[in-house]
Amino acid sequence: MTFTGYGDEWRLSRRIFHQTFRADSALKFHPMQIRRAREMIVSLIDDPQHYHAHFATFSSSVTMSAVYDYETSARDDPLVLLVIHAIDLAIGMLTPERAMMLKMFPFLLNLPDWCPGSSIKCDARVSTNLFNELVNVPFDYVKQHMAGDSISSRSSMVGEHLQRIEEQGEALRPVLEPALKKAATTAFAAAYDSTTSALMVFILAMVLYPDVQRYAQAEIDLVIGRDQLPTF
């Protein structure tokens, strides 16, 4: 959706996104979010050195469960690693310096691969291939599980709308499926970066301000006690 021009497809993608993640609809994801949060806590206790990887896995797994009903493994999940690799590569490419270079020297996009200075084009090709995988691999995962009559896959964002296509006729597919793919990719790509960053900043704040951490812990203990974990 980010790079889609405003128009019918953009509005359709936005509507799909809103139908899934509006406040009243997102309530059904609370049990899954709690389960994923507790998995993250266990991973942090077992392996605190790789806290960033645990945060990335958590943020990706929550959205992938909601969007694709994909159950990620606690560590080194192949699809999570694909997300991290694709987004990190894209962030490295989408810089003002590279944009200015291409604006000033557009011929760089036409250089042969063996020529010095063609790395931008090569990186763009790799990034495009990764994002195509990012769009299609989890989407095809839902299709395969729906073909196997998986009930849970039909409760995900992608599953619900694919079922709508099945019920209302294949005429919707050429219009709805591309918009659905873009909405789905936007959801988990955005969640990976924003949620992971928020968790990293939170940890930094707690380390820098231990008095605030103690105060917050005291408030939590006052509300729920010390023998249970917070829930919604």
Q: Which range marks the domain in which residue 60 is found? A: 8-84+135-224
Q: What is the mean pLDDT of residues 119-138?
A: 78
- Per-residue pLDDT tens over the stretch 139-168: 888 888 777 665 555 678 888 888 887 777
Q: Is 188 exposed, middle or buried (0-12, 13-18, 19+ CB in 10 A)?
A: buried
- Position 159 in a domain: yes
User: Closest Cα partner for 153 from 140, 172, 165?
Assistant: 140
- Per-residue pLDDT tens over the stretch 20-61: 888 887 788 888 889 999 989 999 999 999 888 889 888 888
Residue-level pLDDT at 211: 94
- Position 97 in a domain: no
- 36: which 2 tokens? 């994923």
Whether 102 contacts 123, CB under 8 Å: no
Residue-level pLDDT at 146: 78
Alpha-carbon dihedral of residues 20, 25, 26, 29, nearest 10 degrees?
-100
Percent of the chain at pLDDT exceeding 70: 90
- Position 129 in a domain: no
Residues 6+ away with beta carbon under 8 Å from 175: 9, 12
Average pLDDT for the chain? 81
Residue entry with tokens 């790395």: 119
- 189: which 2 tokens? 């790509």
Residue entry with tokens 């940890």: 203
The domain tally of the chain equals: 1
- 205: which 2 tokens? 């704040």
- Position 2 in a domain: no
User: Closest Cα partner for 64 from 163, 193, 176, 158?
Assistant: 158
- Position 162 in a domain: yes
Question: How far from the centroid of its chain's Cα atoms is residue 185's Cα?
Answer: 7
Angle at 126 between CA 194 and CA 141, to 5 degrees: 65
- Position 112 in a domain: no
Global confidence as pTM: 0.73
User: Closest Cα partner for 80 from 163, 7, 138?
Assistant: 138
- Per-residue pLDDT tens over the stretch 193-229: 788 899 999 999 999 999 999 999 999 999 988 888 8
- Position 122 in a domain: no
- Position 33 in a domain: yes
